[in-house]
């Protein structure tokens, strides 16, 4: 089985949006399963619904809006990022082709269960798509709402499993393509003050523990990628070392540069694994 895994990383997801647009130029869809986390989930929706440039437009036109990212609102006790508004506005401006999405490759999104501190993986359906994406993208502290559905309450999937490559393997995938949000040289540092996490998340001790262990878990996924089990192939698409986009980068020229890096990487990947005929054309839309 072939699986596609897409990391999150907030605005760093602009790289994956470019990669997946590169895939769509050539109608490259060899996967039996797709798993996304946080921004990676949103990017996969654009890819699996066959809507080129939807994801990059969501990031550059909507996620840069002060109604989504608002430090002043955060200082007054509100959300730094309004995930629910982002989802609703994205659907208004760039409606998802749900018929294509749900007749395509099965997609899972990871969200962190606040009661267990572990990742739950939900298969997207017409009934849960907005709830699952909100849960997967609900950055702790930055987004104060706690999405609850299907008997659980959730925070960002990246807390428990930023790169669900081991989950793809557990589900039977033996050829896995992973799109990362950091260059391959990146190693996540451990938190220097675990007590801060425990204090901030005193109401949710399992989430605090997951945040304290996040670096170890993240780096274990990288080790799995670099040293896969026998009989398993892992293809990695990662940003170059000069990738300048950070988690909350809002400057459109920097975002556009990151997108172009992803687009080039996606095209290069396809040329290695598929006989090229003619690429399609990526169309631009505007949200009115």
Residue tagged 């169309």 (tokens): 283
Q: Is 276 within 8 Å of 26 (Cβ atoms)?
A: yes
DSSP code per residue over 169-214 = HHTT-SEEEEE-SS-TT--PPPPS-HHHHHHHTTT-HHHHHHHHTH
Q: Which two tokens stand for residue 142?
A: 């930055």
Q: Which residues, listed in sequence order, are joined to residue 155 by a DSSP beta bridge? A: 112
8 Å CB contact between 96 and 51: yes
Per the annotation, the verdict on 181 as an active-site residue is: no
Q: Which of 17, 21, 38, 49 is catalytic?
A: 38
Distance between CA 214 and CA 280 in Å, rounded?
A: 40
How far apart, in whole angstroms, are the C-alpha atoms of residue 5 and residue 44?
9
Going by C-alpha positions, the residue among 44, 20, 28 that lies closest to residue 109 is: 44
Measured from the Cβ of residue 27, the count of other Cβ atoms closer than 10 Å reads 12
Closest CA to 273 of 243, 233, 244: 233
| Active-site residue identified among 21, 79, 120, 156 | 156
Active site residue 38: yes
- Could you list the active site residues? 38, 156
């Amino acid at each position: 089985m072939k699986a596609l895994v897409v990391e999150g990383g907030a605005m760093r997801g602009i790289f994956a949006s470019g990669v997946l647009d590169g895939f769509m130029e050539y109608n490259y869809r060899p996967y039996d399963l797709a798993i996304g986390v946080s921004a990676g989930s949103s990017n996969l929706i654009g890819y699996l619904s066959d809507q080129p440039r939807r994801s990059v437009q969501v990031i550059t036109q909507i996620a840069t809006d002060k109604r989504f990212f608002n430090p002043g609102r955060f200082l007054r006790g509100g959300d730094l990022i309004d995930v629910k508004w982002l989802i609703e506005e994205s659907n208004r401006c760039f409606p998802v082709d749900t018929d294509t999405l749900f007749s395509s490759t099965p997609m899972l999104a990871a969200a962190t269960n606040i009661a267990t501190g572990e990742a739950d993986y939900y298969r997207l359906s017409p009934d849960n798509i907005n709830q699952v994406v909100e849960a997967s993208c609900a950055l702790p502290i930055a987004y104060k709402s706690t999405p609850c559905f299907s008997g659980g309450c959730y925070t960002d999937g990246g807390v428990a499993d930023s790169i669900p490559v081991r989950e793809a393997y557990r589900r039977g995938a033996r050829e896995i393509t992973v799109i990362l949000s950091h260059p391959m040289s990146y190693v996540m540092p451990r938190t220097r003050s675990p007590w801060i996490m425990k204090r901030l998340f005193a109401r949710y001790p399992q989430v605090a523990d997951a945040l304290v262990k996040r670096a170890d878990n993240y780096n274990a996924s990288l080790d799995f990628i670099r040293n896969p089990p026998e009989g398993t192939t892992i293809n990695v698409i990662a940003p170059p070392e000069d990738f300048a986009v950070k988690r909350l980068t809002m400057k459109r020229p920097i975002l556009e540069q990151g997108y172009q890096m992803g687009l080039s990487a996606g095209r290069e990947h396809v040329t290695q694994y598929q006989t090229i005929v003619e690429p399609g054309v990526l169309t631009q839309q505007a949200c009115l």
